[in-house]
Amino acid sequence: MPKNSPEAVSLDSIGDQDRKTILRAIYAKVDVEPPVGERYEFALREIIRSAISDSGYRLDKDDTETLVEDLFAYVASFGPIDPYLQDPKISEVMVNGPDQVFIEKNGEMILTDTKFDSNEQVRFAINHMINPRGRFVNNKHPLVDSRLPDGSRLNAVIAPVSPEWPCITIRRFLKDKLTIEQLVELGSLSPKIAEFLAMCVQARLNIVIAGNTSSGKTTFLNNIAQHIPDWERIVTVEDSAELNLHQIHKISLEAQPPDYRGEGAVTIRDLVKNCLRMRPDRIIVGEVRGGEAMDMLQAMNTGHDGSLTTVHSNSPRDTISRLETMALMAGIEVPITAIRKQMASALNLIVYLSRMPDGSRRLTHVSEVVGMEGDVVTMTDLFVFQQTGLDENRKIKGVFKSTGLRPSFSRAFESGGYKMDAKWFMN
């Protein structure tokens, strides 16, 4: 159809090629001036109307509005991955360009036959996910971390960082998280370890839950935090609000990225500092990634016993190294030995989780932070998972074993009115 036709045309005469022309115009306009914030839907419809007008197609008012809504439905959507975002069994969605979509379902990575129409449609899906939250991606801002309305975590990258195609990674926020009883049934930990950790939480020990990528750290944190007594005041600090605690006396704080002007950022460290002024009995930090590690350690050492957090690491020992490195990121000139003394004094337990080669998630170590020997933080394993082989389906088999050692905090534990059951430490 020729552009700038002097005669009005009907909606029926606009074919697929014409729609693609208008979509390219919409794409260009969105890239230059993203429709962000609360007026997202209104601003996007105005962009679509402008693209139709600029493309030279003369339609009457009713046909124009019909075409606007038709194009809006295409542009303002998650595209072909929308069904995966409705499936409660899918924990991750990964889009490697328009022709390759992976999902993780029930712990298994699956390559689907789902495809987007083009790179542009992937970009439209990204825009739809992040524009309402005041975020956008373009050539000057090719990376974005955000979240969906249900709390699922979103990362997107586009050119020039990802030169071939735009990519999306969505870590789902599953409302029906596994309970500790279900984790025991699945073989993620043993009943006596579950009982021991529940008592440690009640006894106000400082616990770090560590693990590799997608090992279930947040789910596990959510589970053991349920053992905090109802009368204690809990303040949670998270990048994206995922914890779902049943206690009444709780406050949830959530970090905020900068808006499209680069303003308004609120970091995890800002929130950890602020929550110390909120008279918390317990501080729970969803994940420490930077200088807030120092603030967390100082809080643990100044009367905020029973604090909980998670750390990404490769082993229980590496967890100490990671915390040390992150504490240095606080920019406070403190000798490394002083930081290690802070950790040795503040931390009681490191619970290490691992995503196994077969896709299962297991607790592999419960380690006590004992103290210092020279300038080294010393640790002792209390419980370990010992792999014994593979079953007929190539799934990992193994047993949870006590090392036979009782924790050094057992006397303080029992003086607080909590019984240390000797059966926990017997095989």
Q: What is the secondary structure of 345-400 as a DSSP string?
A: HH--EEEEEEE-TTS-EEEEEEEEEEEEETTEEEEEEEEEEEEEEE-TTS-EEEEE
pLDDT, block means (10 residues), the chain with 427 residues:
51 73 90 88 92 78 85 93 92 95 89 95 93 85 86 90 94 76 89 94 94 90 93 90 87 82 83 90 92 90 89 95 93 89 94 90 95 93 92 86 91 79 84
Tell me the β-bridge partners of 95: 101, 168
Q: What is the C-alpha to C-alpha distance for residues 154 and 172, in angstroms, rounded to an integer?
A: 9
- pLDDT of amino acid 167: 96
Q: What does 124-182 look like in DSSP terms, one character per residue?
A: HHHHHHHGGGT---BTTB-EEEEE-TTS-EEEEE-TTTSSS--EEEEE---SSPPPHHH
Contact 168, 174 (CB under 8 A): no
Contact 133, 151 (CB under 8 A): no
Q: What is the C-alpha to C-alpha distance for residues 39 and 48, in angstroms, rounded to an integer?
A: 14
- pLDDT of amino acid 263: 75
CA atoms within 13 A of residue 230's CA, in its CB half-sphere: 2
Q: Domain segments of the chain: what residues?
A: 11-75, 80-171, 180-425
Please, which contacts does 88-92 make with residues 24 or more away whose CB atoms are closer than 8 Å? 88/174, 88/175, 88/176, 90/172, 91/171, 91/172, 91/174, 91/214, 92/169, 92/170, 92/171, 92/172, 92/214
> pTM of whole model > 0.85?
no
Contact 402, 383 (CB under 8 A): yes
- pLDDT of amino acid 2: 46
Q: What is the C-alpha to C-alpha distance for residues 295 and 237, in angstroms, rounded to an integer?
A: 12
Closest CA to 207 of 199, 192, 404, 337: 199
Token reading at 110: 């699956």
- pLDDT of amino acid 343: 93
Return the beta strands (E) in 5-82 as ranges.
none
Token reading at 337: 């030995």
Residues 6+ apart with CB under 8 A from 35: 41, 42, 43, 44, 46, 47, 131
> Is it true that 80-171 and 180-425 share their CATH fold?
no
What is the fold of 80-171? Beta-Lactamase (3.30.450)
- pLDDT of amino acid 6: 44
What is the fold of 180-425? Rossmann fold (3.40.50)
- pLDDT of amino acid 13: 62
